[in-house]
Amino acid sequence: MRSALDLQDRTTPGAEASHQKPLPTPHRKPGHTLPRGLGAARDFVAEVADLTEPDAVVWCDGSEVERDRLNEELCAAGTFVRLDPQLRPSSFLARSDPKDVARVEAATFICAEDEADAGPTNNWRDPAQMRAELAHVFAGSMRGRTMYVVPFSMGPVGGPTAKVGIEITDSPYVVVSMRIMTRMGEAALAQVEAGDEWVPAVHSVGMPLVGDDGSERADVPWPCNETKYISHFPQDREIWSYGSGYGGNALLGKKCYALRIASALARDEGWLAEHMLLIRLTHADGRRFHVAAAFPSACGKTNLAMLRSALPEWTVTTLGDDIVWLRPGEDGRLWAINPEAGFFGVAPGTGVRTNPTAVETLTHDVIFTNVARTDDGDVWWEGLTPEPPDHLVDWLGEDWTPQVAAETGRPAAHPNSRFTVSAAQCPIIDPDWDDGAGVPLDLILFGGRRATNVPLVTAARDWEHGVFFGASISSERTAAAEGTIGDMRRDPFAMLPFCGYNMADYFGHWLAVGAQLGARAPQIAAVNWFRKGADGSFLWPGFAENARVLDWLLRLVEGEVTGKQTPLGLAPADGELHLHGLDLSAEDLAELERVDPAAWHAEADSIEEYFVQFGDRLPEALRDQLAALRERLG
């Protein structure tokens, strides 16, 4: 019998690489970058099966019967624990391998012929070299498992901006998650059958149950591999993901397709694929506005997407919480759709005070991953209730009490624990969320977690200035990806881990889209909910109170207020921000809005340092914006 270690050794490319099977690629008709139709899909599935050697191949139809069967299988395998049917009907808890808990940016690759097309912010690999490595690790990688074929649509099926994909995966957890996160199954397959283009996306957890010599090993509740490849071929529009079963590493419709591959499609086709939430604000007088906001991972998109306004004149409805696709319309406006069908949201910090809408969304039919379990068979995480229960089983499956936590600092839920839930379940989901035509944007926000320097709100003077805001977003790192939490980094447009091509070209593409839109382009603004006072606590109450900032920006858009100029842009003039009913001292407000010229000169230096890596590819307009900022700072 071979050990797990021997099996893992297979992931090191060896001398035998010369006689291995090549990595399959779907057949494309001459002149097409994407495969089309069911014939090409069938052939590709057969070739992937030939390489990965699964026991069985199952085409998923997306039905409830199929879902229920897979959920039962996941329970039997120990991947899922069914939660108490009274407290949390049709809901499950999954605990991942403790080494597979977040996106792995170091193992995320953009494979372009020319290294410069991946750009300095991506991990580049030569496509041919990567194909050879992948062929090696995928060979036999599904032995002893079932291979699922998961047709899915990003965007309402058949809608004008929807796009189809086919994920091939050996993880039933991925299948039931994709069923929630995308429009998965028969309807999407019908699009393929009708001849639509589709993006191929292949995923293996990388733990075959049968070794090269035929020896067998038992499965584990969360199979994965220490070797991981989250690889993208933007030119061929292909995704190959190996070794992880978690979130964006494995649910390939999400970051891999709807952001990395879609951003490359968007560049070529004149639209934008963005890491943004999407909401509608309806005023008591009937006026409606649509707002999108790009914040880095775990920086408040889901919270703002489900905003319950502190100002009674505004009602918010949810359209999306993570990804938008934006297209210039014939009317000169920028139209937005949410290509997803569910939320894969951060659990910790989600509670009745911070996000009551999410709490109401999560009452049934939820997959929770890496949260804690209560003794009565429900779930808990830090921030769900002010006081923790007396006893829990933590995300690692171990006993947890508040006393243990106080001594060890061990959280009950992993900081990147998540819920997977259908968007349709959200009590404030917008009635038009499933409408493929989308909504016209009035306002775009850029923001990050900044304890210092960055004011509560600054409106851009024009589109180019707004693109400069997006390009210079910086944020403290969160638990959403492997890495040191709290380190400050630049995360342009909140797309640092998600841009499928050269980031400088992407800046240029944003400028080009703005030039095309002209006068009807949405207003752009920078926000920061996370500025801290001298005592280290947040100055701004955030959450429901963020509506006050949106209110000011929309009144600015409407010409009801004018704002005042600061060196950074437009800030609320005295009295313009509606602060009635809020317990915020004049000193704290002043600190929230303060622009310190010396600190901002240092900020400008740090932006320049960041921009330098793009060399000549950095658009001139951004250099000009930086120079103009320095001039205004004096």
Q: List, by residue number, the catalytic residues.
A: 299
Q: Which residues contact 295 (CB under 8 A, 6 or more apart)?
A: 277, 301, 304, 445, 446, 447, 448, 475, 494
Residue 24 or 300 with smaller CB distance to ligand GTP? 300
Least separation in angstroms between residue 140's CB and ligand GTP is 34
Among 297, 338, 475, 502, binds ligand SPV (CB under 6 A): 297
Q: Do residues 244 and 100 lie in contact, with contact meaning Cβ atoms separated by under 8 Å? A: yes
Interacting partner of 338 out of ligand SPV, Mn ion, ligand GTP, none (Cβ under 5 to 8 A depending on kind) = none
Q: b/e for 69-100, b at 16 or more Cβ within 10 A?
A: ebbeebeeeebbbbbeeeebeebbbbbbbeeb
Among 103, 131, 228, 260, binds ligand SPV (CB under 6 A): 103
Q: Do residues 215 and 1 lie in contact, with contact meaning Cβ atoms separated by under 8 Å? A: yes
Does the footprint of ligand SPV cover residue 322 (CB under 6 A)?
yes
Contacts to ligand SPV from residues 452-511, by CB under 6 A? 480
Among 36, 183, 254, 333, binds ligand SPV (CB under 6 A): 254
Burial of 278 (0-12, 13-18, 19+ CB in 10 A): buried
* Residue 388 main-chain phi, psi, to 5 deg: -75, 155
Q: Which residues contact 248 (CB under 8 A, 6 or more apart)?
A: 103, 254, 255, 256, 344
Kindly give the pairing relationship between strand 238-242 and strand 418-422: unpaired
Does the footprint of ligand SPV cover residue 247 (CB under 6 A)?
yes
| Rounded-to-integer distance, Cα 578 and Cα 2, Å | 68
> Letter for the amino acid at 82?
R
Least separation in angstroms between residue 247's CB and ligand SPV is 3
Residue 124 or 538 with smaller CB distance to ligand GTP? 538
The stretches of 22-150 forming alpha helices (DSSP H) are 37-52, 64-76, 115-118, 127-138
Least separation in angstroms between residue 478's CB and ligand SPV is 8
Least separation in angstroms between residue 251's CB and ligand SPV is 6
3-state secondary structure of 165: strand
3-state secondary structure of 288: strand
Interacting partner of 349 out of ligand GTP, ligand SPV, Mn ion, none (Cβ under 5 to 8 A depending on kind) = ligand GTP
Contact region for ligand SPV (CB under 6 A) — 216-224, 248-256, 350-358, 403-411? Answer: 248-256
Does the footprint of ligand SPV cover residue 100 (CB under 6 A)?
no
Residue 227 or 354 with smaller CB distance to ligand GTP? 354
| Rounded-to-integer distance, Cα 300 and Cα 540, Å | 14
Interacting partner of 382 out of ligand GTP, ligand SPV, Mn ion, none (Cβ under 5 to 8 A depending on kind) = none
Among 117, 170, 238, 322, binds Mn ion (CB under 5 A): 322
Interacting partner of 356 out of ligand SPV, Mn ion, ligand GTP, none (Cβ under 5 to 8 A depending on kind) = none
Least separation in angstroms between residue 528's CB and ligand GTP is 10
Residue 297 or 370 with smaller CB distance to Mn ion? 297
Residue 340 or 603 with smaller CB distance to Mn ion? 340
Chain contacts with ligand SPV (rule: CB under 6 A): 103, 247-248, 254-255, 297, 322, 344, 480
